[in-house]
């Protein structure tokens, strides 16, 4: 059993309202944020004649349903019912809404830490599975369903089943070109998409400590993608410096007191975890997925596996199904695979550091003629800062479409979809079949690999940008298509 000395246990213990037995606990919720697709929770509350228990602890934003096309004349008013109803209900219940175009508006998992709503040691509940993002600050954060949303609005509490604990230690210094996105993709590729089921995971080690704050959000964001309910990083000077002066963060003497408390939120040296995992990432290369599951991932210089070599019949069938859906062949190199679209955005990789990293790759270059590439800032504040720094001009000059904040092509629930057979390099967090539109073919990667791929017209190693090797990748799409066609004909 895990001891009381883990980061998870320390934060969990502060929030217990009641032990409900059989492993279930009623927890106090410190911060609750309602996205647009969860707005009908207010309707259910109203039908029962209940108020919001603590409106000062509740916030809302429209992100999933909003148009990200800045040329859309309806964007500012956004007449879709999700936004209209959210505006009406937050006003009626006295809840703070970060409306479209306002400072604070954006993707829920970008604005919540950006505004200082999520803080170390707090519990954070949001009606979206990637709420684990906020564990990067040392918060206990989890996604909730519709019934739980109503319960939190009415009581400021939530029932949770206490999980086991796991620590993942990333040993070694990350080499140039690797990022937080590469860490989590590498982990999922090694452990599988179900290895975190039933666990609260703490990320630790030299590589994690060296990550800037926004890369830590990326790492924790995808905890749910390998089954973990919570993903956490102990708060440190990096986190404190990033949070200072955020709008909803403590100020003055309260800030000093808060930081003194936050420093105690570390797993004790003798803390026991139910499972320990250690991964050496000193030679980690940029990662990119090839199939319809995040554990179908390769380093950019590797080739696709041969399903025939998989002894497990179920796994073999899954590999074969993904290869057919993705239009790929066994042994095919992932580098040089032609792409049609590139999407830089989502709650995983749309922060200012992500945009700076991608802009550094594309500055002075141009998107390949056959590629349509988008950059979608994660929030209104990210958009404003990027434009102040001239990043929008860098992208536009390079042939990218500069969009407005929103979830956009990550899930395609807002009209931002792609057609059947269209191959996309995406900085989002999921590569399910049909995720970005029926028949869409999604490859998940980090911003620098996505940017490099937009320039080359194919999946490209960002470490080779500006070299003869990278320049020659412009011929790779024709070659790759010819290889695939030949193999299909032979079959």
pLDDT in tens, the chain (491 residues): 344 799 999 999 999 999 999 999 999 999 999 999 888 899 999 999 999 999 999 999 999 999 898 887 666 556 688 999 999 999 999 999 999 999 999 999 999 999 999 999 999 999 999 999 999 999 999 999 989 999 999 999 999 999 999 999 999 999 999 999 999 999 999 999 999 999 999 999 999 999 999 999 999 999 999 999 999 999 999 999 999 999 999 999 999 999 999 999 999 999 999 999 999 999 999 999 999 999 999 999 999 999 999 999 999 999 999 999 999 999 999 999 999 999 999 999 999 999 999 999 999 999 999 999 999 999 999 999 999 999 999 999 999 999 999 998 998 777 888 999 999 999 999 999 989 989 999 999 999 999 999 999 999 999 999 888 777 775 443 333 332 332 333 33
Query: What stretch(es) of the chain map to CATH 3.30.499.10?
Result: 7-277, 289-490
| Number of neighbours of residue 358 by Cβ within 10 angstroms | 30
Question: For residue 473, what pLDDT is reported?
Answer: 72
Find the distance separating the first CA and the last CA of the chain, reported in whole Å. Answer: 53
CATH topology of domain 289-490: Aconitase; domain 3 (3.30.499)
Residue 112: exposed, middle, or buried by beta-carbon count in 10 A (0-12, 13-18, 19+)? buried
Q: Is the pTM of this model over 0.85?
A: yes
Contact status, residue 6 vs residue 165, Cβ threshold 8 Å: yes
Per the CB < 8 A criterion, the answer to whether 61 and 31 are in contact is no
pLDDT of residue 240: 98
Which residue matches tokens 């320039």?
A: 455
Count CB atoms within 10 A of the CB of residue 301.
13
Could you tell me how many residues make up the chain? 491
pLDDT value at position 416? 87
Q: In the prediction, which pLDDT does 477 show?
A: 37
CA atoms of 6 and 68, how far apart (whole Å): 41
Contact indicator for 190, 278 with CB cutoff of 8 Å: no
DSSP characters over 288-354: EE-SSSTTSEEETT-B---GGG--SHHHHHHHHHHHHHHT--TT-BSTT-B-SEEEE-TTTS-SHHH
Radius of gyration of the chain (CA): 22
SS3 426: strand
pLDDT, residue 38, reads 86
Tokens of 311: 């002894």
Quote the pLDDT of residue 73: 67
Tell me which CATH code domain 7-277 carries: 3.30.499.10
């Amino acid at each position: 059993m895990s001891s009381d000395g883990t980061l998870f246990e320390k934060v969990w213990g502060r929030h217990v309202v009641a032990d409900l037995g059989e492993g279930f606990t009623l927890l106090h919720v410190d911060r609750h944020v309602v996205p647009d697709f969860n707005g009908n929770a207010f309707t259910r509350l109203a039908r029962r004649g209940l108020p919001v228990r603590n409106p000062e602890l509740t916030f809302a934003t429209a992100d999933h349903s909003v148009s990200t096309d800045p040329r859309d004349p309806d964007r500012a008013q956004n007449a879709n019912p999700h936004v209209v109803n959210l505006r009406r209900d937050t006003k009626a219940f006295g809840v703070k809404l970060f409306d479209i175009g306002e400072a604070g508006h954006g993707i829920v998992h970008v604005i919540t830490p950006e505004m200082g709503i999520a803080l170390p040691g707090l519990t954070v509940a949001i009606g979206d599975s990637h709420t684990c993002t906020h564990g990067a600050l040392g918060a206990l954060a989890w996604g909730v369903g519709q019934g739980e949303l109503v319960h939190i609005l009415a009581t400021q509490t939530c029932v949770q089943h206490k999980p086991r604990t796991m620590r993942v230690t990333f040993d070694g210094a990350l080499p140039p070109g690797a990022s937080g996105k590469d860490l989590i993709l590498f982990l999922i590729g090694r452990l599988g998409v179900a290895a975190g089921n039933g666990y609260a995971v703490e990320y630790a080690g030299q590589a994690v400590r060296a990550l800037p704050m926004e890369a830590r959000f990326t790492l924790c964001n995808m905890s749910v993608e390998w089954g973990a309910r919570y993903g956490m990083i102990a708060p440190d000077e990096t986190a404190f410096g990033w949070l200072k002066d955020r709008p909803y963060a403590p100020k003055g003497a309260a800030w000093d007191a808060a930081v003194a408390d936050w420093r105690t939120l570390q797993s004790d040296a003798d803390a026991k975890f139910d499972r320990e995992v250690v991964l050496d990432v000193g030679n980690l290369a940029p990662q990119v997925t090839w199939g319809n599951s995040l554990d179908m991932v390769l380093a950019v210089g590797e080739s696709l596996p041969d399903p025939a070599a998989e002894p497990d019949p179920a796994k073999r069938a899954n590999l074969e199904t993904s290869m057919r859906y993705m239009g790929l062949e066994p042994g095919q190199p992932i580098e040089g695979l032609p792409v049609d679209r590139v999407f830089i955005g989502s709650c995983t990789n749309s922060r200012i550091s992500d945009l700076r990293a991608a802009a550094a790759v594309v500055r002075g270059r141009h998107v390949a003629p056959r590629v349509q590439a988008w950059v979608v800032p994660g929030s209104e504040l990210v958009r404003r800062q990027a434009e102040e720094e001239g990043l929008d001009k860098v992208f536009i000059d390079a042939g990218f479409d500069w969009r407005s904040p929103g979830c956009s092509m990550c899930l395609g629930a807002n009209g931002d979809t792609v057609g059947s057979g269209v191959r996309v390099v995406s900085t989002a967090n999921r590569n399910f079949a049909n995720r970005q539109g029926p028949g869409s073919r999604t490859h998940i990667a980090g911003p620098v690999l996505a940017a490099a791929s937009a320039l080359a017209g194919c999946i490209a190693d960002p470490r080779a940008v500006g070299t003869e090797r990278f320049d020659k990748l412009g011929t790779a799409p024709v070659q790759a298509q010819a290889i695939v066609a030949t193999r299909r004909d032979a079959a």
